[in-house]
Homo-oligomer: A and B are copies of this chain.
């Protein structure tokens, strides 16, 4: 189905340079888009592709207009404009309401008539599911789970007992919400588990990536505030609070009882130690370890990066004696002070 370029311009609030009646049916990269597709230029690194693009239209900043050989949509933030255009071109798929015959549903569950429940779903006692929710194949909802409107569980998602999920939440395959936190006491060398009495609250507009896990709280609840975006294979420990609109990239791990502020960006493969607080608007670069609270907004880094193995070995061998090296420098400084 074709959309008029003029309609797209209106949706993304762009100035159009070209033919408003031009038809667009999809989206692609500058390099590969076809004449019925829209593209964008957000990163000057790709400017070369603009001059030769076959796209039907390009979302771009005014400075790049001169090099655009096709219809242009001028906006301040071309990536944001493009995202809005794609969302307009590809609206969320509609699901047919109904319950698959193979689903296993407790009699005491309250499920709105508009909900779609797929094959092999298991739903426990006391579960409540609101309007227009989609539960994909193989999902397990233990007892007393509550799911808000327009939320989607893609497939093979597990929500443990009592977990509460808000509206417009998207949970990707393999996500586990509400497994027990890792809490135990040691008695004579053996571990005694603390029953995990809390739950998990996932607020509105949260997205959680494939195979990520969010543990239930020990006494209070683990809380994921509204608009938080979590990538794949992220682990969130018990009693964490993740502030609104924070994004956490893939393979990051957050230990228990961590409070992360609002609008933070946590890089991939980062690890955050337990019982610390991170302020609002903090950026942690990837593969970084955070072991103390961060009280100031800003960007923090802690990742070593590769060099060729010979260089690396020489430098790390010196690192193992860095304290000694620093002492030797102090000795030299003292000698020179005495001499002069």
Contact = CB atoms under 8 A, between A and B. Distances in A.
A298 B289 contact: no
Interface string A133-156: 000111010100000000000111
A94 interface: no
Contacts of A23: none
Interface string A176-198: 10011010111101111111010
A325 B322 CA distance: 10
A233 B255 contact: no
Interface stretch (A3-11, A61-69, A213-221): A213-221
Interface in A281-340: 284-292, 294, 298-309, 311-323, 325-326, 328-329, 332-333, 335-336, 340
A114 interface: no
B325 A306 contact: no
B245 A250 contact: no
Interface residues of A, number: 122
Contacts of A210: 158, 176, 179, 213, 215
A232 interface: yes
A326 B323 contact: no
B300 A306 contact: yes
Given A80-B192, A220-B29, A120 B104 contact: yes
A263 interface: yes
